[in-house]
Amino acid sequence: MGLRRPMSMGKAASPTGAEIASRVEAFVREIVVPYETDPRRDHHDCPTDELVFEMREKARAAGVLTPHILPDGSHLSQCETAVVLARTGLSPLGPLACNTASPDEGNMYLLSKVANPALKDRFLKPLVEGRARSAFFMTEPAMDGGAGSDPSMMRTTCRRDGDHWVINGRKAFITGVEGAHVGIVMAKSDEGACMFLVDLPDPAVRIERVPNTIDSSMPGGHAVVALENLRVAADQMLGQPGEGFHSAQIRLAPARLSHCMRWLGTCRRANEIATDYVCRREAFGKTLIDHEGVGFMLAENLIELKQAELMIDWCASVLDEGHLGVAESSMVKIAVSEGLMRVADRCVQVMGGTGVSSETIVEQVFREIRAFRIYDGPTEVHKWSLAKKVKRDWKARQQ
């Protein structure tokens, strides 16, 4: 149902990005999409590692594993990455198969920027090769008064002990930690925030529980984790003591944008499925698409999908120019997550009962996009951050 039409490349695609994107799209549509009905899921309905690594072997054979990182280790530009990651997103399983999924994609980006050669060889290489998964330990339990969208509230501590650091605290909603082999842990020292690379599993990293959540696309779910006297060698710190927030900013803006890229592709696919449905289904004497109420919803989808694409391209250009893009990525995260929520909702609505069933991925896409409005910062937090910028900029103009 609507699976074969190639997506337009958009103005941002270079010849290299366009060629990679075409191969990725063909792989996802032809090889990954059939896996959407594969029953290998855990009790949270998340794909099992067996399923993930089976798909990755097929991606490796097809030459589309970790396609945004070239064989020489260099990254595609953010504009090129946008074109490629949207193609991996054509299935909820596509980013897992192609090794462009969160949190691994963001973690790979961070390590490529700040890790030294020894740490890259030990921790980054297996991620790029698609042979390991990772987790990013920043968010903390709200009921403990810990860091959520405000990392300055961090309660997890680290203290120097000879050639090691000892970390204690609790983390929450840590995506993919169950089954991960690489961890990036944020903690607070007397000097300020610190960031460490850790091998997983570790007895000192105890998974307390993995709550059921509305989304189900990420292996391992989103766990609550206790860090109990976790000892980490001093040479596994990223940067220097107190530089943790700076390193986090290097990761967070591109990671926000990558989420937008992937979910744009997923919502394009949902819209394809909805379009196919309403052009075939008849009611009240004509196909659904010929009923104005239905046709107008799909017209609105086209508009919001294009708006999302243009916002992503704009922010990608800002990052490619060497800027951190903190405000720009907040703007795009708000606009794209809210716009794609409306797209997914319309897809469900025009498909009626089929739209809320597991007969297609549309129902899952709706759930995933609803969660997307929260992770990597809720819409309201990003608006608040932008409002503070408005005030700062106003004050600067008065001087």
Q: Provide the 3-class DSSP secondary structure of residue 76.
A: coil
User: 175-234 pLDDT, tens per residue?
Assistant: 999 999 999 999 999 999 999 999 999 999 999 999 999 999 999 999 999 999 999 999
Backbone angles phi, psi at 189, to 5 degrees: -110, 180
Task: Give bridge partners of residue 164 from the DSSP assignment.
Answer: 161, 233
pLDDT at 7: 55
Residue pLDDT, tens place only, 363-384 = 999 999 999 999 888 999 999 9
pLDDT band for position 8 (cuts 50, 70, 90): low
pTM: 0.92
Where exactly are the structural domains of the chain? 15-101, 134-240, 245-394
Percent of the chain with pLDDT over 90: 87
CATH superfamily of 134-240: Butyryl-CoA Dehydrogenase, subunit A, domain 2 (2.40.110.10)
> DSSP character for 123?
I
Is the distance from CB of 315 to CB of 332 less than 8 angstroms?
Answer: yes
C-alpha 314/C-alpha 311 separation (Å) is: 5
Residue 12 pLDDT more than 60?
no
CATH number, domain 245-394: 1.20.140.10
Listed residue (236, 243, 127) closest to 182, CA to CA? 127
**351-367 pLDDT, tens digit each:** 999 999 999 999 999 99
